[in-house]
Amino acid sequence: MAIANVKNQLSIGNVVRNAVVFNFKKWRNSGVNSDSLLQSVDRLFTLLDERQADYLLVGGIALLQYIEGRNTEDIDLIMALSSLERLPEISVISQDSNFIRGNFNELQIDILLTENPLFARVQQSYSARQQFLERTIPCATVEGLIILKLYALPSLYRQGKFARVSLYENDVATLLYDYSPDLEPLFEVVAKYVSDSDLISLKEIVAEIQQRIERFGKEFE
């Protein structure tokens, strides 16, 4: 696993703390101690390293290594159940065949389980070590993040979760604009894990995003 080039050294703890600080609803309901979040983030990744848990950082924190303006209060990881079992400090709140949501002290952890073959594929093939302020962490690549976003979109549409649909499509658009990855290999990966009709719809969504990028890019040159 190579160490990827980084724009700047991002502090995971500060990202999570700042997101909580500006979530006034959370402050009213729970009065979270923002300083303790910094300690929880540091302790979590220390335990992951000490117990040799195999994981990959994904989600909003991973995205912030590549794009600006993302806000997130939780930590998203791809892990196997066997790795999660090495961290009994994470209390499981909910679980299904693909996902686990848990708490580590006051820190929310969302885990994408490698029992899902696409998540396992991303962890194995689309990772690079990124230097954060706290430490060097295995992190999803631009391509890995796009694959995860595309894979999630059909389910989000069916559930009517359009706020998240908008967020995910914006993430894809920003990654495409900033990095111009080769999309054909990524669609080939996603095609193995979604229906033919979903794949067609995803290609249409991405084509529309590319058209907007091209149209507005020319207008503002």
Q: How confident is the model at residue 32 (pLDDT cuts 50, 70, 90)?
A: low
Domain boundaries, given as residue ranges, for the chain: 12-140, 144-219
Cβ 128 vs Cβ 141: under 8 Å: yes
pLDDT digits (tens, 9 = 90+) for 132-145: 877 899 999 999 99
- Which CATH architecture group holds 12-140? 2-Layer Sandwich (3.30)
Cβ 162 vs Cβ 185: under 8 Å: no
Instruction: Note the pLDDT of residue 178.
Output: 93
**Does the pLDDT of residue 202 top 70, yes or no?**
yes
Instruction: Note the pLDDT of residue 220.
Output: 46
pLDDT digits (tens, 9 = 90+) for 91-108: 999 999 999 999 998 889
pTM, two decimals, is: 0.87
How far apart, in whole angstroms, are the C-alpha atoms of residue 53 and residue 198? 34
Q: How confident is the model at residue 121 (pLDDT cuts 50, 70, 90)?
A: very high
Cβ 161 vs Cβ 167: under 8 Å: no
Percent of the chain with pLDDT strictly greater than 90: 67
